[in-house]
C-alpha cells in the first residue's frame, strides 16, 4: 500500500507527512486489499477557525472510497477521516464476506 500526500498552495513539513502516513497505514488492518491512498491537504478561504481540509481517497479493487473532513488542524481532520474510513472499510469487508 502506498500513501501519496499532496499539499495545495503551501509547503508541508515532514512531521505532518509522517503523522499522516502512520495514521493511514493502520487502515491496512481493516481491509488488506488497499492499493493506494491519495491525500490532499488544503486551507479554505474563510474566517472560520476550522479551515483545514483533508480529502482522502482510498483506492481498492473495484471501487474508490472518498472522505472529506474539515477541522482546526490537519492532524485532527486526518484523524476524523481515518475513523470514517475505518467504518467504511469494515462495512466493505463484511459485504465482501457475505457474498
Print burial letters for 15-37: b (CB count within 10 Å at least 16), e (below 16). ebeebbeebbeebeebbeebeeb
CATH number at residue 28: 3.30.160.100
Please give the model's pTM, rounded to 2 decimal places.
0.90
Sign for the CA dihedral angle at 4, 36, 20, 18 comes to negative
Number of domains forming the structure of the chain: 1
pLDDT one digit per residue (tens) for the chain, 99 residues: 899 999 998 899 999 999 999 999 999 999 888 999 999 999 988 778 889 999 999 999 988 999 999 999 999 999 999 999 999 999 988 887 776
Range of the domain at 30: 2-98
Amino acid at each position: 500500500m502506498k500513501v501519496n500526500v499532496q499539499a495545495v498552495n503551501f509547503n508541508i513539513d515532514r512531521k505532518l507527512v509522517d503523522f499522516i502516513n502512520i495514521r493511514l497505514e493502520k487502515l491496512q488492518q481493516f481491509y488488506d486489499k488497499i492499493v493506494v491512498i491519495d491525500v490532499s491537504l488544503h486551507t479554505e478561504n474563510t474566517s472560520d477557525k476550522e479551515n483545514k481540509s483533508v480529502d482522502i481517497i482510498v483506492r481498492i479493487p473495484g471501487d474508490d472510497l472518498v472522505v472529506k473532513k474539515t477541522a482546526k488542524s490537519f492532524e485532527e481532520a486526518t484523524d476524523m477521516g481515518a475513523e470514517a474510513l475505518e467504518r467504511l472499510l469494515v462495512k466493505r469487508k463484511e459485504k465482501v464476506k457475505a457474498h
